[in-house]
């Protein structure tokens, strides 16, 4: 199968948002007056972002999900994406599965494939995603203010728990592993919550490298610090509902797990009702885990109100380099 | 050096077109009323799109050039790009050179870096480029009509000549090799010509896989065929000005060379003066090499007006797979 047959067979679909999709030198998208375009890109590499054993359908889902998660963090509505794919060989079973997982999630968010590139090479998946929102309504990292509440969406740490099991560092009961693995391989981008938080949240980021690391981006951009109450955060590990996770492991997974694709966000304390309304409207749980303060840094307080002294590091793709 | 230090040091620059550039979850770009956004993406892999020995400064140039060439083919004005980079290791000399070549070309076209991703992995460069044009003025592949003139910009085949020399299939005099290699490694995207051809050309594409292959895309999209006069096309090999290239090799390089990043375009015969004006305004040579006809396929006529029967194939990234 040649390059163009491959594109026609697995990736060419009719477009609705775009004026021109796959098949010309560029895709064309008309400007929506009064709107801003939000654009983000993520590259996934075997061994770094996914294991070689991953189900291709899950990989198709995850490749788009991690990009949609960036749109969610800005409160953007997804519109379109471009996919560049380096493949070691044309493997039709893999392409069937990958495109199925990809387009299922794309369809759920009415996000259409408008262009891309395919080539032979070590497996590499690079997606650029485009969304939009009314001018000036984007959620930025820089808007957190001292006194704001600190929230996260959904559950945290399960993807890291699965990774620890895959690496053989821990052993999990079958049902726990299944749950954790699903969170790692098929994360849910919080697109509806992000849109519902426009005009409510003061700052937001998505959690891809771990809560402390990504919260750190908000704090740096906003010039503030934060305190986290472990008593509030501890229940965030999804698996803890079905399995008594050792406390230290749970803390590591929740605070610096990575691959969560939940939102961490801040909002003024007078907006608690609005945050709850956004949570209900988007059918996405949110948990208040702490407070923004003026002084820099993050302090985590234990159940006794004592600051934890243990250091947590966030994920860095060049940490070994 | 960590991921974020690397981005800060080599890739973070102030933005002018964008509202928000690198450093948040998404870049933000305001819609320009009455305009269409043109978007394209290209992925470059070592061994497929460049040799491991390439000067990183040239590679930085080429990575963006091949993307700008897609904007040129649509007549779009470049605005911004996103860069995803998988690197085997953090090599500061390589990053210095790569970013220098990349930003020099970006600056020439006022095309700013607004986002991206970096990760460890086999060397892979994936760029998504955004440009715009007034609504409805994009050059498409589908507009060629029987009777239109057929043109190409600049020179063709020199990149292929260099590749044949690198592969050891031919031997070139030093000065010829230097010229051919420069065309292969630092192609010139025809952005100014593309913009000048708005409202003049009936169809356009950029030549990345070889003239016959990329002309084929126009013909298929337009439902027409073409004839090419070899007597007109033969002089297109840039190196032929300084070296008597064997005729059959010259024909192969010109007709199915690939990596040219010139434009192939069509225009009604009554627009010849306008095509020449666009050529002058953009300081880019154009050559009329044939005619669009109603019947499908491409026929190449030799100096005696006889059709060539030799088959030429265009470049396919999965041809070996």
The series of mean pLDDT values per 10 residues for chain B, 321 residues long, is 85 92 94 94 92 93 98 98 96 96 98 96 97 97 98 97 95 96 97 98 97 96 96 91 93 94 98 98 98 95 84 58 34
Task: Please state whether beta strands A77-87 and A112-120 pair in parallel, antiparallel, or not at all (unpaired).
Answer: parallel
By percentage, how much of chain A surpasses pLDDT 90?
Answer: 85
Work out the number of other CB atoms within 10 angstroms of the CB of residue A107.
Answer: 11
CB contact under 8 A, A25 and B19: no
- Taking the Cβ of residue A38 and every Cβ of chain B, the question of whether any pair is shorter than 8 Å is answered with yes
Q: How far apart are CA B12 and CA A163, in angstroms?
A: 32
CB contact under 8 A, A119 and B46: no
Nearest partner of A207 among A153, A247, A167, A166, judged by Cα: A153
| Chain B residues within an 8 Å CB radius of A43 | 84-86, 117, 119, 121, 124, 126
* Tokens at B141, concatenated: 């592949």
| Chain A residues within an 8 Å CB radius of B42 | 84, 117
Q: How far apart are CA A85 and CA B119, in angstroms?
A: 16
pLDDT in tens, A304-313: 888 887 666 5
CB contact under 8 A, A29 and B46: no
Contacts of A71 (CB under 8 A, 6+ apart): A38, A40, A77, A78, A129, A131, A189, A191, A194, B25, B26
Residue A267 near residue A199 (C-beta atoms within 8 A): no
Reported ipTM: the value is 0.94
Q: Which residue has the tokens 């996000």?
A: A111
Secondary structure class of A33 (helix, strand, coil): coil
Q: How far apart are CA B106 and CA B84, in angstroms?
A: 16
Nearest partner of A82 among A143, A160, A29, judged by Cα: A29
Work out the number of other CB atoms within 10 angstroms of the CB of residue B23.
Answer: 18
| Chain B residues within an 8 Å CB radius of A117 | 41-43, 126
User: ∠ CA(A195), CA(A199), CA(A200), 5° rounding?
Assistant: 90
Q: Which of the four pLDDT bands, split at 50, 70 and 90, describes residue A237?
A: very high
Residue B240's pLDDT is 92
Q: pTM, whole model, 2 decimals? A: 0.95
Chain A: give the shortest CA distance to residue B60, in Å.
18
Residue A278 near residue A198 (C-beta atoms within 8 A): no
Residue B135's pLDDT is 96
* Tokens at A83, concatenated: 């996919």
* Tokens at B249, concatenated: 């090799």
- b/e B190-229 (16+ beta carbons within 10 angstroms → b): bbbbbbbbbebbbbbbbbbbbbbbbbbbbbebbebbbbbb
CB contact under 8 A, B37 and A23: no
Work out the number of other CB atoms within 10 angstroms of the CB of residue A2.
Answer: 15
Secondary structure class of A131 (helix, strand, coil): strand
Residue B115's pLDDT is 96
Contacts of A310 (CB under 8 A, 6+ apart): A251
Q: Which residues of chain A from 80 to 119 reach within 8 Å of chain B, CB to CB?
A: 82, 84-86, 89-90, 114-119
Q: Which residues of chain A from 48 to 87 reach within 8 Å of chain B, CB to CB?
A: 48-49, 70-71, 73-74, 76, 82, 84-86
| Total count of residues recorded for chain B | 321
- Taking the Cβ of residue A318 and every Cβ of chain B, the question of whether any pair is shorter than 8 Å is answered with yes
Q: How far apart are CA A228 and CA A240, in angstroms?
A: 19
Residue B133 near residue B212 (C-beta atoms within 8 A): no
Mean of the pLDDT values across residues A273-284?
98
| Chain A residues within an 8 Å CB radius of B36 | 19, 28-31
Residue B2's pLDDT is 80
Q: Which residue has the tokens 């396919």?
A: B316
Residue B206's pLDDT is 97
Q: How far apart are CA A243 and CA A239, in angstroms?
A: 6
Q: How far apart are CA A63 and CA B252, in angstroms?
A: 40
Q: Which residue has the tokens 């140039």?
A: B61
CB contact under 8 A, A115 and B317: no
Q: Which residues of chain A from 117 to 176 reach within 8 Å of chain B, CB to CB?
A: 117-122, 124, 126, 128, 130-132, 135, 138, 140-142
Q: How far apart are CA A18 and CA A22, in angstroms?
A: 10
CB contact under 8 A, A40 and B26: yes
Estimate the crossing angle of helix A3-10 against helix A92-108, to 10 degrees: 40
pLDDT in tens, A23-77: 999 999 998 899 999 999 999 999 888 988 899 999 999 999 999 999 999 999 9
Nearest partner of A272 among A200, A198, A215, judged by Cα: A200
What is the helix (H) or strand (E) element at residue A226, kind and residue range? strand A225-229
Counting DSSP H helices and E strands in chain A, the numbers are 10, 11
Residue A169's pLDDT is 95
Residue B31's pLDDT is 82
CB contact under 8 A, A121 and B119: no
Chain A: give the shortest CA distance to residue B288, in Å.
21
């Amino acid at each position: 199968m040649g390059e163009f047959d491959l594109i026609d067979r697995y990736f060419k679909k009719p477009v609705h948002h775009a004026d021109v999709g796959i098949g010309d030198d560029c895709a064309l998208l008309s400007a929506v007056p009064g709107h801003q375009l939000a654009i983000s890109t993520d590259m996934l590499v075997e061994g770094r972002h996914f294991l070689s054993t991953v189900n291709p359908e899950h990989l198709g889902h995850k490749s788009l999900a991690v990009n949609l998660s960036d749109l969610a963090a800005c409160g953007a509505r997804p519109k379109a994406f471009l996919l560049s794919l380096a493949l070691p060989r044309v493997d039709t079973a893999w392409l069937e599965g990958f495109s199925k997982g990809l387009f299922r999630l794309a369809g759920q968010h009415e996000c259409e494939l408008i262009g891309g590139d395919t080539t032979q090479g070590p497996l590499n998946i690079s997606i650029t995603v485009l969304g939009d929102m009314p001018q000036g309504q984007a959620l930025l990292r820089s808007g957190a203010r001292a006194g704001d509440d600190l929230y996260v969406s959904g559950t945290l740490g399960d993807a890291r728990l699965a990774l620890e099991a895959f690496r053989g560092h821990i052993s999990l009961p079958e049902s726990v592993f299944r749950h954790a693995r699903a969170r790692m391989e098929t994360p849910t981008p919080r697109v509806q919550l992000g849109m519902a938080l426009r005009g409510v949240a003061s700052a937001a980021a998505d959690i891809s490298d771990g809560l402390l690391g990504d919260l750190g981006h908000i704090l740096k951009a906003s010039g503030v610090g934060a305190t986290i109450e472990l008593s509030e955060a501890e229940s965030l590990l999804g698996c803890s509902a079905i399995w008594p996770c050792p406390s230290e492991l749970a803390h590591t997974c929740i605070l610096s797990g990575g691959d969560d694709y939940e939102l961490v966000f801040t909002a003024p304390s007078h907006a608690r009702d609005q945050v709850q309304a956004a949570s209900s409207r988007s059918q996405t749980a949110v948990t208040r885990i702490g407070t923004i303060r003026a002084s820099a840094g993050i302090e985590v307080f234990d159940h006794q109100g004592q600051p934890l002294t243990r250091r947590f590091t966030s994920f860095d793709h060049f940490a070994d380099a």
